[in-house]
A and B are shown apart, each in its own frame.
Chain A
Amino acid sequence: MEDLLIEFLSNTGFALVDYRNIIMLLVGIIIIYLGVAKQYEPLLLVPIGFGILIGNIPVFKDFGLGIYESGSFLNYVYYGVTHDIYPPLIFLGIGALTDFSTMLARPVLMLLGAAAQIGIFTTFLGALAIGFPPNEAASIGIIGGADGPTAIFLTAMLAPRLIGPIAVAAYSYMALVPVIQPPIMRLLTTRKERLIKMEEPREVSKREKIIFPIVGFLLCCFLAPAALPLLGMLFFGNLLKECVVVERLARTARTSLIDIVTILLGVTVGASTQADVFLTRQSIGIFTLGAFSFAIATASGVIFAKIMNLFLRKKINPLIGAAGVSAVPNSARVVQMVGQAEDPTNFLLMHAMAPNISGVIGSAIAAAILWSFMSL
């Protein structure tokens, strides 16, 4: 009986724990705190934070409990991450939630969404320069797309062991958009530019909103077929929303489905974030490059908007270039806030939603391109 008791006790967490587990558990608690108390992207950070707690409880290997052990509950649920099932389903919900009409009203603003993706490729180069192999560099670069599902989608393909730190970095920086972006926006624009009032966008008809997802899907996927899972679901979700005749499906996509997938994705991504990957110098590199990618993406969007103004008769407020960083709708709100600080009568939110949404499309295309290149 004594032997049984000793064997039992030697399999408890108290016996198996080491200092790295403790640190990771603290990281999980901090992330939960950021999500709950500070309300930084709570829909993702709370599940990720708790997932970190789940994944870093010290357990005896071969018990079939760990996320990397075949046959465990977590391993089955994690399948959706490693096989890129969850991110497209989240994009389905995003498509069913998003109103594309501001983008359709003034299509030229889509280019700002493209410009912001310069951050992805610049960071890719930076990651290569500091010694990351290409597939990991591409996964780090995609953080600059400011799109969590896209970052997880690409990382699961190219560098699955980095899913944890990349997801945490991506969502943390998305939450910090109101802190990161404004100084860059003010630095790159003059007061006169920030005061530019944009023309009210035209009304977009229902038929345009129905035709767009079909046209958009065909065009984008013909050009970048690897974007099929993400953009296919995004445009499908939007079609469900706009055609009205399948309101039940659209409602399910933007409520229950996206919530279920978010829970499963968040928990398993968190659980996969373990000490041997997170507590390394690489993570510092990932977090540093992540901040760098956000800054470059913001700057690229703003500068591109200024360049566009050289050719446009109806000037655009260059602040909206920052909304090309596809943290929807946070970066659009930041643009509104910075614009209103200069002129309380300047209503930029609806204009900023156009590059914001096209940034989602742009980052999905960028992810597809990187995946294609890395698979060659």
Chain B
Amino acid sequence: MSTDIQTLKLLDFFADLNFGELEQMAPLMHLMKVTEGEVLTRKGEPARTFFIILSGNFMLSFKEERSFTLHNKGNIIGWSTVVTPFQYTGTAIALTDGLVLSMPGQEFLRLIQSNSALGDKIMRKINKIVSERMPYVTGTWGKGGTNCLALKL
């Protein structure tokens, strides 16, 4: 079941998108129920799906079992769908039942590659999230840690 534009507009991830861009995103997104304990992504596996949390609580774990939890509507999981090498860098598990929006990674990537204005907005959001989460991914903490993002556009 695809998602309506109003739902997307309320999410911080899509806050900068205009109506036309949301119209392009909406058909790709599908509502998905998750149950407690369900694994959404596994570290190292091909990143095929991008998720946005609508409700529920999730744990993301990375290298050396470092982890953090996500509790807020609009948090994203699966940025590796648009970042090479397109493999999940962490394992995402639902701590409680919830609802997420899922989007096929290939379609998402194709959309942002075909529309540079939309792609810029999305990648800016993703870059910000990646830079916040990168210490967990690389296991390096402190200023000046290099983040090797390989973006293919």
Contact = CB atoms under 8 A, between A and B. Distances in A.
Does chain A touch chain B in the assembled complex, meaning CB atoms less than 8 Å apart?
Answer: yes
Interface of A: 97-99, 101-102, 200-201, 203, 241, 244, 247, 250-251, 254-255, 329, 332-333, 336, 340, 344-345, 347, 349-350, 353
B149 to A, nearest CB: 6
B116 A200 contact: no
A247 B19 contact: yes
Nearest to A343: B150
9 contacts: A200-B124, A200-B128, A332-B116, A340-B153, A344-B150, A344-B152, A347-B149, A349-B119, A349-B120
Nearest to B149: A345
Contacts, number: 54
A41 to B, nearest CB: 16
Interface in B131-153: 131, 148-153
B137 to A, nearest CB: 14
Given A250-B18, A340-B153, A344-B84, 17 more contacts: A99-B117, A99-B120, A203-B128, A244-B18, A255-B20, A329-B117, A333-B116, A336-B153, A347-B151, A347-B153, A349-B116, A349-B119, A349-B120, A349-B123, A349-B153, A350-B120, A353-B116
A102 B116 CA distance: 12
Contacts of A329: 116-117
B121 interface: yes
B72 interface: no
Contacts of B152: 340, 344
A111 B19 CA distance: 31
Contact of A345 (B120, B124, B131, B151): B151
Contacts of A244: 18
B84 A251 contact: no
B43 to A, nearest CB: 21
Interface string B102-129: 0000000000000011011101100110
Nearest to A242: B18
Contacts of B16: 101
Contacts of B120: 99, 102, 349-350, 353
Contact of A200 (B18, B117, B131, B151): B131
B19 A251 contact: yes
Contacts of B131: 200
B121 A99 contact: yes
Interface size class of B (residues with CB under 8 A): 20 to 34
A241 B121 CA distance: 15
A255 B18 CA distance: 13
Contacts of A333: 116
Interface of B: 16, 18-20, 84, 116-117, 119-121, 123-124, 127-128, 131, 148-153
Contacts of A250: 18
Nearest to B119: A349
A352 B114 CA distance: 17
A250 B20 CA distance: 10
B123 to A, nearest CB: 7
B127 A241 contact: no
Contact of A254 (B20, B128, B148): B20
List the 8 closest A-B pairs by CB distance, nearest first.
A329-B116, A350-B120, A347-B151, A345-B150, A99-B117, A247-B19, A344-B150, A345-B149
B6 to A, nearest CB: 13
A203 B125 CA distance: 9
Contacts of B124: 200-201, 203, 350
B9 to A, nearest CB: 10
A187 to B, nearest CB: 24
Nearest to A328: B116
Contacts of B84: 344
Nearest to A347: B151
B117 A345 contact: no
Contacts of A251: 19-20
Indicate the member of B84, B149, B153 with the most A CB atoms within 10 Å: B153
Nearest to B116: A329
B20 A98 contact: no
B117 A97 contact: yes
Nearest to A209: B16
A347 B122 CA distance: 13
